[in-house]
Amino acid sequence: MSGDFKIHYADYVFSGSAAEFGRAPGWGVIDVIQTDDATRRAYHQGGAGADYYILREGKIVGVDLCGMLDHVVNELGAVKVGRTIDTQKYIKIRKQAEDEFDK
């Protein structure tokens, strides 16, 4: 889907095609309307729970915080997230990493 969209902000509207989604300002979105190429029907992604908007397979999708973080970590690969593990296992892995770095 390469549907045209309009992103409504408080003081202006940004229009474009799905390929131009990344050019739209990132802050202050009020509502998003996109046209489905197959049906030529418009649909909107505003409303409760849609504080973030991502582009997934050419479709603009409204998501919550978990959905946005999932997109950034798993789809974009833009962030790598650490985790807590057993202290002894952590020390062993760190030692291995340091030994490999020294080679």
pTM over 0.75: no
* Residue partners of 59: CB distance under 8 A and separation at least 6: 1, 3, 18, 34
Q: What are phi and psi of 76, to 5 degrees?
A: -85, -25
**pLDDT single digits (tens) 15-41:** 998 889 999 999 988 888 888 777 776
> How many domains in the chain?
1
% residues pLDDT > 70 (the chain): 87
**pLDDT single digits (tens) 64-84:** 889 899 999 999 988 888 889
* Residue partners of 11: CB distance under 8 A and separation at least 6: none
Query: Which residues constitute the domain of residue 11?
Result: 5-102
